[in-house]
Chains A and B, each alone.
Chain A
Amino acid sequence: MKIFLQDSETASVIEVDDTDILLAVIPLADGEELWEEDADSALAPGAVGADLKRRRLHRGRHRVDVRVHYNGDTKDRRFAPGATIERVHEWAVGPHAFNLNPADAGDLVLRETGSTEELDTGAHVGRLAGLDHELDLDLVVADRFAG
């Protein structure tokens, strides 16, 4: 089976068997763990390919403290490193953060603070943060095409 693997530097595709113990076949550095995408906790040591709910993993050491800035305010939350930008967006516009109505929320996108590039919504926060434990994002109005 194909596994889509991200870490602090890269995104890649690897092949594993359903019966493979993932921690045995995916190389890890000291302190690193495997996290299913958008899951809150790391994989159990004996997890095999067939145990995965999603075939998307993150290889990393740390949870990431994400700060989202919007309209002069900041909300923060610690995410597992395999949390996607789409998951962060869902939290940021939701009732536990800026609590925006769906129409306003749909017009907003996330960018890394100081960047003008919109983020790949499938990127993991652990990849964007690199070796840091923190990530600053701006919630901004998406481009409107007129003229």
Chain B
Amino acid sequence: MDPDEAALVADLTSERFEAGVERGWWALIDRSGTTAIFHIVAMNGRAIDISLDCTGYPGSAPAGVLWSSEDSNPLEPKFWPQGGRASEVFSLTWSVQNGGSPYMPFDRRAIVGHDPWRTQHPRHVWGTDKTIVDYLGLIRDVLRTATKTGPIGDAA
């Protein structure tokens, strides 16, 4: 097992990750090497799946894309959560133009070209003090602001 995969697996067995699973906040659906797919459920019951490419973890931040587990493909933008902060993080402009990446500092693709975020939002910039749980937690926090999700993203 490569070091980045080993580090990811270690964090997927951490107390913080497993406590979130036990609470029903998130679940690991599938993992292949350093790519992992998660189901995330917000406080208000809204739910989404997200695929995280964790190549280089934890030295490099995860790169996410909203996921349709039914289709085994990225979730079509018409089904993305929208409303409140969700409309900004799952941007129908920037995210659509950038492979579906969440528009937030934790994301490996989104931080590129957004250097001011490092000083504006230091607690949401990836670093050695962050883990996959921080990424999932922010997505879950943003998801609760959504007023609309498509049929695939709705909680069961």
Contact = CB atoms under 8 A, between A and B. Distances in A.
Contacts of A143: 121, 123-124
Interface string A68-102: 00000000000000000010011000000000001
Nearest to A106: B145
B95 to A, nearest CB: 11
A107 interface: yes
Interface residues of B, number: 30
A109 interface: yes
Contacts of B147: 103
A28 interface: no
A4 B22 contact: yes
Contacts of A116: 123
A106 B121 contact: no
A56 B43 contact: no
Main secondary structure of the interface of B (DSSP, over half): helix
Interface residues of A, number: 28
A107 B22 contact: no
A54 B105 CA distance: 34
A11 interface: yes
B114 A147 contact: yes
Contacts of B145: 103, 106-107
A6 B7 CA distance: 24
Contacts of B85: 106-107, 142, 144
A57 to B, nearest CB: 11
Given A107-B145, A142-B141, A145-B104, A56 B19 contact: yes
A122 B83 CA distance: 24
A18 interface: no
7 contacts: A2-B22, A54-B22, A122-B25, A142-B141, A145-B103, A145-B117, A145-B124
Interface of A: 2, 4, 11-13, 54-56, 86, 89-90, 102-103, 106-107, 109, 116-118, 120-122, 142-147
